[in-house]
Amino acid sequence: MAAATNKQQLLTQSLPLLQKKFPGTAGPEKRTVLDEVVFAVLREAATTAQAEAAFTHLMRSFYDWNEMRVSTIQEIADALPGLPGAGEKARRIVGLLQEVFEERYSFDLNDIAKKGLKQGAKQLARYKAGVNDFVVAWVTQRSFAGHAIPLDAPTIRVLQRLGILEGDIDDLEATRASIEHFIPKAKGVEFTELYIELALAICTETHPDCQHCPLKADCPTGQEILAKAKADAKAAKPKSR
Ligand code: SF4
């Protein structure tokens, strides 16, 4: 079990290594609060490049938020080609727009950014159909300039394999708080961007490519996988007579 200082060290050292592997990873763009909430829904378990392409396609496919709100889930999903989890994300977007409209008769959430971090996060979390912990943390990081690290399933998978997160994740908010403790605010966006790239390009769910992972030297799972592959290759080698 890695001690807290080791975990912090591992995370700190991982960022320049990942930056080298994934140079030019997108930084934050300025969006309205509602745009950012919808973007966060698209971005969960997807790279920023995938989410940006999906967001642009979505916005071009409908005249305005209201047209989107009254569309079918299938129509929204069709406007998100190639995006992981498009159907479920479409359902959340329609539900979110409906909730916002019923409460405000408009689609302007910008006032929430002025409420302070805690209050803003609390208000966002009320839109339960579309907003989850990932979305709250994402919007806190991007629109409210707060210290929050959005954790989606692929990012959690990498952190578990690295031994930074241990055991089952019963309380996502508490898990997030522990990671936020290790990552300084100034590195929050960088961490968020680089770890999803690693999770989706190399540390994939079923076939992690540990051989080409820049973190393999410090990853207990990677070391295990590589040792097993080496042993398997040795066992498969025909014995010389
Ligand atoms: S070494 Fe393997 S298991 Fe560890 S983070 Fe890299 S790809 Fe994932």
Given ligand 1 and candidates 7, 203, 224, which is best to mutate, with the most ligand atoms within 8 Å of its CB?
Answer: 203
To 10 degrees, what angle do helices 48-61 and 33-43 make? 120
Domain ranges of the chain: 33-142
Measured from the Cα of 202, ligand 1's closest atom is 7
CA distance 9 to 114: 35
Residue carrying the six token digits 């803003």:
120
* Index of the ligand 1 atom closest to the CA of residue 214: 6
What pLDDT is attached to residue 136?
97
pLDDT for res 90: 98
pLDDT reported for residue 5: 79
Question: Rounded to the nearest whole angstrom, what is the distance from the C-alpha of residue 11 to the centroid of ligand 1?
Answer: 13
The rounded Å distance from CA 160 to ligand 1 centre is: 10
Residue 28: its pLDDT value, please?
65
Centroid of ligand 1 to alpha carbon of 229 (angstroms): 14
- Quote the ligand 1 centre to 222 CA distance (angstroms): 5
Residues with CB under 6 A from ligand 1: 158, 161-162, 202-203, 208-210, 213, 215-216, 219, 221-222, 225
Residue with CA nearest ligand 1 atom 3:
222
pLDDT at 30: 83
Which residues neighbour 203 within 8 Å (Cβ) at sequence distance 6 or greater? 154, 157, 158, 161, 209, 213
Hey, whose CA ends up nearest to atom 4 of ligand 1?
Answer: 222
Class of 33-142 in CATH: mainly alpha
Long-range contacts for 1-10 (Cβ within 8 Å, ≥24 apart)?
1/163, 1/166, 2/163, 2/164, 4/182, 7/163, 7/164, 7/182, 8/182, 10/162, 10/163, 10/164, 10/218
Q: Helical H runs in the chain?
A: 4-21, 33-43, 48-61, 65-69, 73-78, 86-104, 117-125, 133-142, 153-161, 172-182, 188-201, 220-236
Q: Please tell me what DSSP assigns to residue 238.
A: P
- Taking the C-alpha atoms of residue 91 and residue 32, their distance in angstroms, rounded to an integer, is 21
| pLDDT tens, the chain, 241 aa long | 567 779 999 999 999 999 999 997 766 678 999 999 999 999 999 999 999 999 999 999 999 999 999 999 999 999 999 999 999 999 999 999 999 999 999 999 999 999 999 999 999 999 999 999 999 999 999 999 999 999 999 999 999 999 999 988 888 999 999 999 999 999 999 999 999 999 999 999 999 999 999 999 999 999 999 999 999 888 888 776 5
